[in-house]
Amino acid sequence: MFKLSKKLQALPPYLFLEMDKAKRQARAEGRDIIDLGIGDPDQPTPKYIIEALYRAALDPANHRYALDQGMPVLRRAIESWYKRRFNVSLNPDSEILPLIGSKEGIAHFPLAFLNPGDYSLVPDPCYPPYKGGTILAGGKPYLMPLLKENAFLPDLKKIPFNARKKAKIIFINYPNNPTSAVVQQSFYQELIDFARKNKIIIISDLAYSEIYFDGYKPQSILELDGAREVVVEFHSLSKTFNMTGWRVGWASGNKKLIAALAKVKSNIDSGIFSAVQLAGIAALSAPQEHIEHMCTLYQERRDLLVSGLNSLGWQVDSPKATFYLWIKLPKTCGSLKFAGDLLEQANIVVTPGVGFGKYGEGYIRMALTVNRERIREALDRLKSL
C-alpha cells in the first residue's frame, strides 16, 4: 500500500544496522562474541565530564529548548580549543556551529547546496553518510576510488571535466575511516587549489584527529592559506573524549557555508541539550592528558593485533592514526562472506569492506575497541581456524 520515496529506495543498506542484527542474534544464542566491528570506544567518558553533566542537569534553566546555534560559551570553548590545537583562529559567532553529533551536520549539509542532478565527489570506501546525505538531498555521488597504490588518497587529476562541472561538494576524511590513511600538507594544498578553481565546497571530516601514533599529529585543513574560502570542517567529541552517545560535535569554517547549514538545521531540529553543551565545555577546556592516555592505549592494542595477525600470515600495515586496521583479505573471497565466516566459525565481528563502498571490497576493518585480553583471545581463535 505504501511506497517508499525514490530517494529512500536509492540509499544503500546501512551496513552497521545489519551487523548489529547479526550480533544480537549471536548473543541471543549465548555465544561469546568478540566485537571488532563498529568503532565505539570501550573506555568510559572521563569522570570530570560526567560530573559537569550532572551539575548542569540539576539546574532547571538547562531543561528548556536549546538555541539552534549553541550556547555562546560553547562556541567560545571550541574557538579556544581550535586555537590551542591547530593555531587556527575562528569567529565564534559566525564560523562555528555546534551540532547534535557531527554526523547530523555532515548528512544535512548537502541539503543546503545540492539541486537535483548535482554531484558530490565522494571517496570510496567512505563513512556512509557522505553518500546518504547526497542522495537524500537529490544529488548524485560521484565516486573517487581510494586505492592502496595511491596511499588511499583520491586522485583529483582523474576526476573528469564533466564531473567537476556538476560537482558542488567534495568530501574528505583524514585520518580516514575506514582505511586509517593519513595525509600531508601538500595534499590539502592541492585540494584547496582544486576546489577554488572548480568552485567546489570542501567538507573535511576530522573526527579522528586526536587518535594518532608514532610521532604523527594530524593537521586541520583550515591551517592552510585559502582554506577559509571553500572549507567547512566537522569535528566531534565522540572519539576524542569517549562520548559517542552524548551527541555533540560542530562545524567550523567559511561563514557563508556555516550560515547555510545553520538555516537547514533550524528547520529540522533544535540545539544540543544544554547540560550536554556544558559538559562539552568541560571536555574542551580541561587539560588534555586524557588524549595522551587514550593514544597510548590504542597504540598498545594496535601493536598487539598487527603483530599477531602478521604472525598468522596476514599482511597488515600499522596505521599512524584512528583506532582501525584496514586489512586485505588473507584469502580470495568476498568481504561479506569472510566477515560472515568469522562470526560463524570464531564468534568474531569485523566490518566487511564492501559495506563502505565497492572499492572497499577485498578488505575488512577491525576496530581497536576491545581490551588486550580480548584481542589475544581473538588471535587464538583465528589461529585455530
Residue ranges of the domains in the chain?
Answer: 6-44+289-383, 47-285
DSSP letters spanning 250-277? EEEE-HHHHHHHHHHHHTT-----HHHH
Neighbouring C-beta atoms of residue 98, cutoff 10 Å: 26
249-253 and 363-367: which strand pairing? unpaired
Please state which CATH number belongs to domain 6-44+289-383. 3.90.1150.10
DSSP string, 181-218: ----HHHHHHHHHHHHHHT-EEEEE-TTTT-B-TT--P
Could you give the C-alpha distances from 145 to 27, 328, 332, in angstroms and in order? 36, 16, 21
Element (H, E) at 128: none
Looking at residue 167, what DSSP letter applies? E
For residue range 270-288, list pLDDT tens digits in order.
899 999 999 999 999 988 8
Please report the pLDDT score of residue 68 as a whole number.
Answer: 82
- Looking at every residue in the chain, the average pLDDT score rounds to 94
Residue 111 pLDDT grade (very low, low, confident, very high; cuts 50, 70, 90): very high
- Inform me whether the pLDDT recorded for 23 exceeds 90: no
190 vs 186: CA distance, rounded Å? 6
Residue 65 confidence (pLDDT): 87
Q: What distance separates the 2 farthest-apart alpha carbons in the chain?
A: 59
What pLDDT is attached to residue 19?
74
More confident position, 317 or 17: 317
pLDDT digits (tens, 9 = 90+) for 59-70: 999 999 888 889
- pLDDT at 188 > cutoff 90: yes
The x, y and z cell numbers of residue 120, run together, are 558530490
Q: What average pLDDT does this structure show over 238-251?
A: 94
Same fold, 6-44+289-383 and 47-285: no
In the chain, count of helices (H) and strands (E)?
A: 13, 12
Question: Which pLDDT does position 69 carry in this prediction?
Answer: 87
| Cell (9 digits) for 298 | 590504542
Sign of CA dihedral 378, 382, 384, 385: positive
The pLDDT score that the predictor gives to residue 4 is: 86
What is residue 22's predicted lDDT score, i.e. its pLDDT? 80
The mean-pLDDT minimum among 88-97, 117-126, 224-233, 286-295 falls in 286-295
SS3 of the chain: helix, strand, coil, percent, to 5: 45, 15, 40
Buried b (16+ CB within 10 A) or exposed e, 176-195: bbbbbbbbeeebbeebbebb
CATH fold for the domain made of 47-285: Aspartate Aminotransferase; domain 2 (3.40.640)
DSSP string, 271-331: ---HHHHHHHHHHHHS--HHHHHHHHHHHHHHHHHHHHHHHTT------SBSSEEEEE-SS
Cell of 215: 610521532
Res 38 pLDDT > 90: no
- CA nearest to 77, candidates 298, 292, 272: 272
Burial of 291 per CB tally in 10 Å (0-12, 13-18, 19+): middle
Mean pLDDT of the region 156-179: 97
303-360 tens-digit pLDDT: 999 999 999 999 999 999 999 999 999 877 889 889 989 999 999 999 999 999 999 9
Cβ 379 vs Cβ 370: under 8 Å: no
Whole-angstrom distance, CA of residue 268 vs CA of residue 112: 12
Mean pLDDT for the stretch of residues 111-117 = 96
Distance CA 342, CA 26 (A): 12
